[in-house]
Amino acid sequence: MNLLKLFAGIGLVIYGIYQVGQKIFFTTRSSSFDWGGFPASTSVIIFVAGILALLFIPGKLSNIGWGIMVVGIIMIFYSTSIIVSPVSLVEFLIAIAAMVGGLKLMYSSSRYIL
């Protein structure tokens, strides 16, 4: 019975995250009116350069690769924009209730399973 509660809780949490997450869109800035920012391709190329530095630079100098990857990740977040579509209060409350209920089910069943 506790295993069933655990799987039902996981399902409710996934459902709640899906309901909230389907209203959020990540896009690259491709507007002609946007003068700031970096193109997404530049960010990805810098990130790949960091991965290649981690793989091919030997010894302690490979830490340079981590720095290049951090710069690439920051540029990826800088070059994207987040669009949040309107959501009704009822949809939002149902999603939050599903996540909270799922977490409560997972917590109450995991005490006996683990």
User: Mean pLDDT over residues 84-99, rounded?
Assistant: 90
Arithmetic mean of pLDDT over the chain: 82
Q: Supply the pLDDT for residue 31.
A: 54
For residue 28, list its beta bridge partners. 80
18-73 pLDDT, tens per residue? 998 888 877 766 555 555 555 667 777 888 898 888 888 887 777 888 898 898 88
Q: Supply the pLDDT for residue 13.
A: 93
Q: Which of 38, 39, 40, 62 is nearest to 51 (CA)?
A: 62
Is the pTM higher than 0.85? The answer reads: no
Give the Cα separation of 67 and 93 in Å (integer): 41
User: Mean pLDDT over residues 68-91, rounded?
Assistant: 83
For residue 41, list its beta bridge partners. none
61-74 pLDDT, tens per residue? 778 888 988 988 88
Q: Supply the pLDDT for residue 39.
A: 63
Q: What is the domain partition of the chain in residue ranges?
A: 1-23+85-114, 27-84
